[in-house]
């Protein structure tokens, strides 16, 4: 491996996530020996100017992990070249700069440029058989546009050279979910419709859309979050055990889940989906504007979506997967809730059930990283009738290191950059996965269009429109977080 090229190396993603991640990898001695890191964007700046910007960005993220030695090593690797990545001519000096050896190119630029950039890369000799390309989401805004971009990518690179990022797959707890499911025997017999009542996936954000509206207004919550991150989480919960951790074994199982998702039809769309858009309100104690005010015009783009998904296979028949995500919700909270069924017959009479509830597993990705299991326990004491109480047992990865400093919480891109550099695509999205996800999401948006389903207003700082609660209440259930 000779070089990692960051196209868009001066942009927001590169400065906030990619370069700090590379610094942490350097700090931990994980970057390949001799790897060059080259920022490439149109702005004319010198190597020194670029390095000064990178240093400031990295220091801002390093907290207590700044090390002059690690920085010196990273600085020695860094370089910058002003290029127009859509022009093969402009890319030739970059080809010369990377030298012999393989190149991994990370496209941290607008996806509207992907097709032209990969075509130029091919012409400039940056898409040789040993080279790789990393693509940020969103690739396209529907199945057709995804295919148009991806066809251009496929003309330049073989599928094994393409690394489609979904940064949620780089999150520690998401990988821990794989470990929990397939590294233990005790959960597997329960992981089906005999024991599980339903699954909830919540990705709540307090931030609004703000300045990102030119992008967001075209996408909305369905395409920005559900098509990728949330369906990936659903796949990891629902997939069958793969035969090994080989990238294709894992991705084959995820594709099977996506293929089993029941399409959302126009007849069903109002029953199984909720679209919302925030209006002004209060979030974390501050008054905030509504989406239309930020955008400066009326818009039919949803900033909130809740969906009931059904997976039509033996394991999950009759187990609804409820997903919801939105901007300007009361909390930044990402969690997966596995709600087990209640005991088939309770031996505790009504007034002695105390806090009795069915068991529940909560896989929390944000704000904390934890996996916990709620179990019932006897309330200590001499109650005449035995009283139950709930105990939340943490199964967190920090457990077992009592007294030890918890490991640093890594940026999801650290794992993914390292894997891309090592050519391991297990945590990246294969083309057929992305296609199936787009196909299902296109069905939802087509059904919204046919049924003229417009977003319902919700006050900023609430958990979306009331209809999102009704989505569960109609089935006798409630969301965990606001339940
Ligand atoms: N920011 C984030 O948190 C996230 C971003 N993403 C995705 O990452 C990608 C980048 O986003 P973001 O960093 O926010 O965008 P920015 O607009 O901040 O950065 C884009 C970068 O691309 C460069 N650029 C534009 N045109 C060209 C060109 N023709 N040749 C070379 N460089 C070019 C720009 O620099 P210059 O003008 O100097 O050329 C700039 O460095 C997008 O796909 C986005 O959807 C995904 C998830 C989160
Ligand atoms: O991809 C995206 O993700 C972020 C949320 O990421 P998180 O890691 O902070 O949960 C979201 O804000 C953004 O709209 C979306 O494009």
For the ranges 141-155, 313-327, 399-413, which has the lowest average pLDDT? 399-413
CA distances, 105 to each of 40, 108, 421 (Å): 10, 9, 10
The pLDDT of 359-388, averaged and rounded, is 91
User: Do residues 178 and 125 both lie within one domain?
Assistant: no
**Domain-embedded: residue 173:** yes
One domain, residues 173 and 275: yes
What is the pLDDT confidence band of residue 398, given thresholds at 50, 70 and 90? low
pLDDT of 404 higher than 70 = no
Could you tell me what percentage of the chain is helix, strand and coil, using 3-state DSSP and rounding each to the nearest 5?
Answer: 40, 20, 40
For residues 160 and 175, membership in a common domain is answered with no
In ligand 1, which atom is closest to the CA atom of 113?
29
The band of 385, judged by pLDDT with boundaries at 50, 70 and 90, is confident
Query: Does ligand 2 lie within 6 Å of residue 369's CB atom?
Result: no
- Is a pLDDT exceeding 60 seen at residue 253? yes
What percent of the chain is predicted at pLDDT more than 70?
A: 96
Q: How confident is the model at residue 353 (pLDDT cuts 50, 70, 90)?
A: low
pLDDT in tens, 63-81: 889 999 999 999 999 999 9
In this predicted structure, the answer to whether residue 100 has a pLDDT above a threshold of 90 is no
Mean pLDDT of the chain: 94
- Residue 85 in any domain: the answer is yes
Counting ligand 2 atoms within 8 A of each CB, the residue from 11, 202, 224, 409 with the most, and so the one to mutate, is 224
101-126 confidence digits (pLDDT tens): 899 999 999 999 999 999 999 999 99
Does 416 reside within a domain?
A: no
Among protein residues, the one with the nearest Cα to ligand 2's atom 14 is: 224
Is the same domain home to 155 and 184? no
Range of the domain at 106: 3-164
Which of 98, 134, 124 has the alpha carbon at shortest distance from 17?
Answer: 134
What average pLDDT does this structure show over 300-314?
98
How remote is the CA of residue 229 from the centroid of ligand 2, in Å? 9
Q: Both 239 and 109 in a single domain?
A: no
Label residue 452 left, alpha or beta by phi (over 0 means left) and psi (-120 to 50 means alpha). Answer: left
pLDDT tens, residue by residue, 190-239: 999 999 999 999 999 999 999 999 999 999 999 999 999 999 999 999 99
Q: Which ligand is nearest to the CA of 140?
A: 1
* CATH number reported for the structural domain that contains residue 54 in this entry: 3.40.50.720
Q: Both 312 and 379 in a single domain?
A: yes
Query: Could you tell me if residue 47 is inside a domain?
Result: yes
> Mean of the pLDDT values across residues 345-370?
84
Q: Are residues 346 and 301 in the same domain?
A: yes
pLDDT in tens, 414-449: 999 999 999 999 999 999 999 999 999 999 999 999
Q: Which of 114, 141, 164 is the last residue of a domain?
A: 164
Each residue's pLDDT tens digit, 146-188: 999 999 999 999 999 999 999 999 999 999 999 999 999 999 9
Domain containing residue 335: CATH number: 3.30.360.10
Q: Which of 130, 149, 164 is the last residue of a domain?
A: 164
Q: Same domain for 19 and 68?
A: yes
What is the atom index within ligand 2 of the atom nearest the CA of 412?
8
**46 CA from centroid of ligand 1 (Å):** 19
Residues 323 and 462 occupy one common structural domain: yes
Shared domain check, 173 and 158: no
Ligand 2 pocket residue status of 335, Cβ below 6 Å = no
Q: Where are the beta strands (DSSP E) in 346-474?
A: 360-366, 370-378, 388-394, 456-459
Active site residue 345: no
pLDDT score at 481: 79
pLDDT of the residue at 401: 56
pLDDT attached to residue 357: 83
The reply to whether 179 and 157 lie within a common domain is no
- Number of independent structural domains in the chain: 2
Out of 65, 160, 229, 345, the active site residue is 229
The domain boundary, picked from 164, 196, 217, lies at 164
pLDDT at 1: 64
Regarding whether 150 and 174 lie in a shared domain, the answer is: no
């Amino acid at each position: 491996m000779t070089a990692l090229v960051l196209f868009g190396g001066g942009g927001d993603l590169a400065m906030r996530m990619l370069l700090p991640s590379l610094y942490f990898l350097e700090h931990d001695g994980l970057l390949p020996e001799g790897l060059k890191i080259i920022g490439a964007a149109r702005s004319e700046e010198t190597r020194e100017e670029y390095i000064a910007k990178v240093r400031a960005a990295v220091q801002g993220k390093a907290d207590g992990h700044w090390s002059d030695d690690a920085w010196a090593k990273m600085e020695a690797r860094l370089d910058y070249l002003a290029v127009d990545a859509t022009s093969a001519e402009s890319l030739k000096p970059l080809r010369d700069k990377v030298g012999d050896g393989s190149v991994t190119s990370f496209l941290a630029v607008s996806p509207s440029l992907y097709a032209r950039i990969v075509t130029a890369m091919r012409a400039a000799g940056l898409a040789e058989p040993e080279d790789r390309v990393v693509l940020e989401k969103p690739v396209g805004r529907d199945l057709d546009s995804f295919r148009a971009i991806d066809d251009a990518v496929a003309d330049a690179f073989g599928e094994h050279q393409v690394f489609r990022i979904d940064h949620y797959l780089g999150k520690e707890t998401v990988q821990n979910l794989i470990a929990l499911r397939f590294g233990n025997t005790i959960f597997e017999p329960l992981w089906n419709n005999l024991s599980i009542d339903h699954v909830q996936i919540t990705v709540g954000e307090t931030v609004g859309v703000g300045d990102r509206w030119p992008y967001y207004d075209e996408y909305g919550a369905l395409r920005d979050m559900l098509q990728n991150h949330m369906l990936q989480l659903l796949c990891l919960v629902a997939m069958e055990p793969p035969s090994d951790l080989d990238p294709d074994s894992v991705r084959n199982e995820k594709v099977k889940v996506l293929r089993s998702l029941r399409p959302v039809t126009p007849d069903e769309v109002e029953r199984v989906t909720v679209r919302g858009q925030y209006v002004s309100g209060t979030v974390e104690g501050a008054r905030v504007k509504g989406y239309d005010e930020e955008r400066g015009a009326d818009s039919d783009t949803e900033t909130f979506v809740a969906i009931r998904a059904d997976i039509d296979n033996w394991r999950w028949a009759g187990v609804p997967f409820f997903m919801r995500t939105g901007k300007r919700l009361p909390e930044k909270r990402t969690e997966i809730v596995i709600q087990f069924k209640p005991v088939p017959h309770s031996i505790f009479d009504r007034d002695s059930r105390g806090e009795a509830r069915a068991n529940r597993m909560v896989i929390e990705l944000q704000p904390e990283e934890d996996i916990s299991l709620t179990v019932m326990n006897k309330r200590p004491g001499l109650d005449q009738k035995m009283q139950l109480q709930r105990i939340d047992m943490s199964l967190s990865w920090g457990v077992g290191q009592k007294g030890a400093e918890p490991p640093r919480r890594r940026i999801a891109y650290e794992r993914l950059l390292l894997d891309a550099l090592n050519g391991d695509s297990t945590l990246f999205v294969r083309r057929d996965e992305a296609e199936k996800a787009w196909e299902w999401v296109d069905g939802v948006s087509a059904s919204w269009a046919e049924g003229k389903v417009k977003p319902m207003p919700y006050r900023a700082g609430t958990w979306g429109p009331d209809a999102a609660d009704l989505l569960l209440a109609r089935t006798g259930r409630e969301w965990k977080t606001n339940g």
